[in-house]
A and B are shown apart, each in its own frame.
Chain A
């Protein structure tokens, strides 16, 4: 029994090391900015970081599912846009806000289902499939919203408006609702990925599709489910963004997928599939958010921020590769 315990500890330790890497980066940033600026280490600033990260982190959780399965997800930003439009249009139709949220999530999952169909049944390369749907879903956004922004104030019923306002900008115990939503989703998705049979099948498929299929796993189904998770989360991100801005822009969510992918990758999700965690992806989103916030406070202009974001992505992934190499040589 002693033996199996130590085995368990070892597994836990290697997984934890992965997590610690991102954690160290995160704390490194916090310390640097705390020293360099006076305003960084305040409760207000921390809450504003959380708020700015909430939508991206939600998106990143879903995108991680697709990356872990070995796919690509370039359409997530457009799904955010289309979801916002669908949300407002269904509000306009007089449907209760709660039902509208469900409709929007369903719409996001439908987008994911379509991606899954293209990848598994039409055998398109995921990159191409989701590049195509990025345009399709964006176009659909323009059509649904008629090319102009829709104000939530105008379309929501009088009873619903306060609720939506509360979701978008309300706070409980000083923490924004959107942050709660993001954290709850991250916890649920993390449990799905690490504790369930579905999660195991996702890792198996992402690690080796053929081996998984020959082990009796319906890899097409699992792949499609991963895309549906991503679509659903993008739909939720669309609702979050719309309630926060109280309007749905036809350009909403543009290039958000890249933010999400960056967050996932910085957080240790492998683009090759088969590796990654949800806490890692959330942490990745926070690393990007904290860096942006800190640089803003320091008065670094946004052009330089772009360059620094790029450097962080490259350094994070490079550090991960080096760590893995060391592990391999240690054997």
Chain B
């Protein structure tokens, strides 16, 4: 195993912050090198140095033993360094082949040689056994997982030697993750060096060879073999404090069933029945496309349905629109905070008060003082880290943005909170805080539905877990009495238990 990439003594300061302080990383051929750290630990700064967005203040970069200086992404690509970011750089209207060879189309007498490009793309797809993707497919029609594969193909078309994955599994379901790992293993076999950034500890154990941990811009010890530490030790190194558990221990007092929804039907879902008790967390497990989000959105009145019946405390209520659902005490925290949860260009105060207009106004006029006090109350209560209430939401970190959305709903005294992937893309420390908040809410008797793709999170937080497969609920399990394996069996369709469906009539 030869060395492909060496970053030596890298330091980088921004006004007022030392973002990186003497970081050393060596990536060998055929190695998956995990880069761990909380948000703000310096991972992305390091990667931006690697692809030339930032120049380091100190330190050297060697590619295959030769010292290089990288000034822009193009130079990085030419040196064989590719980064697969969380947000893809693809043109949705173009085909796979056009995206892979974008900007580098082969000319033939001034005309694009489409055949060559398609042939080359097909070669790369074959190499990774990605037979469900065709070079002529239009990217817009593909799933997130498939788009990611296109990004990887694009990286391969540059003959990249080092491939960096930035949170590659954040938007993937379990089965899609397997596919991704197969592709990564193929890269390993071809002797590429892989840097893998992720917040999900569990998946690292399947794939990582070596680990480097960053905390507040500093490297925590040298890089080490992944097998030499336990997950708990790893988390300790990341957060620098002992966390007795990733999920706060909590005894819940669960009340009566207060919420039920029956016959939820539209194009994507067909759910007979679902119910939530007071102070309970009901998890919903399922693969991507199983209809979890669609079910939640139907309950919240966000999408049209062909039939639905919602009862709160035994009384039938209408959920024809989000406005109506909110009036009936239902709130929904979307999985896509940035596009659906927050108005990024508005400030914290306006975002928090967005659903509480009545509370902050009189005769249709907003009372500024009330609005600010209300916002401040929730900023303090949830410990949202923001320099001022007038800070635009776009400048907050992922965890604080999530708290902002939560603040919006807490400001309206809701009875049922639906969390859709509440901790996606949020660092370990902030996750723990969100979990604690969920526990506090359940103490107050709020019923919670939590959709999550992370099985440990479902097991750690829920009381019951409803299992979805292809638009229906195929079973229900007690979180304490089940295993990840059992859940997987249900949601992949291997096992169904219609008779034990969530409160089957």
Chain A interface residues (CB < 8 Å from chain B): 4, 7-8, 10-11, 14, 195-201, 203-204, 207-208, 210-218, 274-275, 328, 331
Q: Mark B51-79, 1 if CB is under 8 A from A, else 0.
A: 00000000000000000000000000000
Q: A-contacting residues of B (Cβ < 8 Å)? A: 300, 302, 321-323, 325-327, 332, 334, 339-347, 349-350, 353-355, 357, 361, 364-366, 368, 372-373, 376, 388-390, 395, 408
Task: Say whether A214 contacts B300, CB under 8 Å.
Answer: yes
Q: For residue A213, which residues in chain B have a CB less than 8 angstroms away from its CB?
A: 302, 322
Determine the chain B residues whose CB is within 8 A of the CB of A8 once the complex forms. Answer: 368, 372
Q: Which of B332, B342, B365 contacts A197 (CB 8 A)?
A: B365
Query: Is there an interface contact between A4 and B372, defined as CB atoms closer than 8 Å?
Result: yes
Docked Cα-Cα span, A328 to B354, in Å, equals 23
B356 to chain A, nearest CB (A): 9
Contact check: which of A10, A14, A215 meets B354 at CB < 8 Å?
A: A215
Q: A328–B345 Cα gap in the complex (Å)?
A: 11
Asked if B343 and A214 make an inter-chain contact with CB atoms under 8 angstroms apart, the answer reads no
- Chain B proximity of A194: nearest CB distance (Å): 9
Most A-side CB within 10 Å, residue of B321, B332, B357: B357
- For B323, list chain A residues within 8 Å (CB): 216-218
* Shortest beta-carbon distance from B368 to chain A in Å: 8
22 contacts between A and B (CB under 8 A): A4-B372, A7-B372, A8-B368, A11-B349, A195-B365, A196-B361, A196-B366, A197-B365, A199-B366, A203-B343, A204-B354, A208-B342, A213-B302, A213-B322, A214-B300, A214-B302, A216-B323, A216-B325, A216-B327, A274-B345, A275-B345, A328-B395
A7 touches B389 (CB 8 A): yes
Verify A216–B388 contact, CB threshold 8 A: no
Closest chain A CB from B221 CB (angstroms): 31
Q: In this complex, which of A199, A210, A214 has the most chain B Cβ atoms within 10 angstroms of its Cβ?
A: A214
A195: chain B residues within 8 A (beta carbon): 365-366
Q: CA of A211 to CA of B342 in the docked complex: distance in angstroms?
A: 6
Question: Residues of A contacting B395 with CB < 8 Å?
Answer: 328, 331
In whole Å, how far is B310's beta carbon from the nearest beta carbon of chain A? 16
A197 pairs with B361, CB closer than 8 A: yes
Nearest-CB residue, chain A, relative to B394: A328
Minimum CB–CB distance from A210 to chain B (whole Å) comes to: 5
Listed from nearest, the 3 A-B pairs whose CB atoms lie closest are: A11-B390, A207-B343, A216-B326
In the complex, A274→B361 CA distance in Å? Answer: 21
Residues of the A chain whose Cβ atoms lie less than 8 Å from the Cβ of B345: 207-208, 274-275
**Contacts A11-B389, A204-B350; A212 near B343 (Cβ below 8 A):** yes
- Chain B proximity of A69: nearest CB distance (Å): 13
Chain A neighbourhood of B321, CB < 8 A: 216, 218
Q: CA A214 – CA B355 in complex, angstroms?
A: 9
Contacts of A215 in B (CB 8 A): 322, 326, 354-355, 408
Asked if B355 contacts A7 (CB within 8 A), the reply is no
B341 proximity list for chain A (CB < 8 A)? 211, 214
Please give me the residue from chain B that is nearest to A201 by CB atom. Answer: B357
Shortest C-beta distance, A224 to chain B (Å), equals: 15
Docked complex Cα distance between A212 and B350 (Å): 11
Q: Which chain B positions have C-beta within 8 A of A208?
A: 339-340, 342-346
A197 to B357, CA, bound (A): 6
Contact (Cβ within 8 A) A217 B365:
no
**Least distance between A68 CB and chain B CB atoms (Å):** 11
How distant is A225 from chain B, measured CB to nearest CB, in Å? 13
A-side contacts of B349, CB under 8 Å: 11
Q: Which of A4, A198, A208, A218 has the most CB of B within 10 A?
A: A208
CB distance from A221 to the nearest CB of B (A): 10
Residue of B nearest to A15 (CB): B390
Residues of chain B lying within 8 A (CB to CB) of residue A211: 339-343, 354
Query: Which B residues touch A212, using CB under 8 A?
Result: 343, 354
- CB contacts (< 8 Å) of A274 on chain B: these are 343, 345-346
Which A residues touch B364, using CB under 8 A? 196-198
CB distance from B378 to the nearest CB of A (A): 14
Q: What separation, in Å, do the CA atoms of A195 and B323 have in the docked complex?
A: 22
Set of chain A residues within 8 Å of B327, measured between Cβ atoms = 216
In the complex, what distance in Å separates the CA atom of A11 from the CA atom of B392?
10
Q: Given the known A-B contacts A198-B364, A200-B366, A214-B300, are A7 and B343 also in contact in the complex, defined by CB atoms under 8 Å?
A: no
- Alpha-carbon separation in the docked complex, A10 to B348 (Å): 13
Report the minimal beta-carbon distance from A270 to chain B, rounded to whole angstroms: 8
- CB-nearest residue of chain B relative to A199? B366
Query: Which of B322, B350, B361, B408 contacts A203, CB < 8 Å?
Result: B350
Chain B CB within 10 Å — which of A7, A208, A216 has the most? A216
- Asked whether B390 lies within 8 Å of A7 as measured between CB atoms, the reply is yes
Q: What CA separation (Å) do A203 and B350 show in the bound complex?
A: 9
Please, which residues of chain B bring their CB within 8 A of the CB of A210? 339-340
Indicate if the CB atoms of A10 and B390 lie closer than 8 Å. Answer: yes
Q: Which residues of A contact B388 (CB under 8 A)?
A: 7, 10-11
Chain A residues whose CB sits within 8 angstroms of the CB of B372 once the complex forms: 4, 7-8
Cα of A204 to Cα of B343 in the assembled complex, Å: 7
> How far, in Å, is B149 (CB) from chain A's closest CB?
28
Q: A204-B343, A207-B343, A208-B345 are in contact. List 6 more A-B contacts (CB 8 A).
A: A4-B376, A196-B366, A200-B357, A214-B322, A218-B321, A328-B395
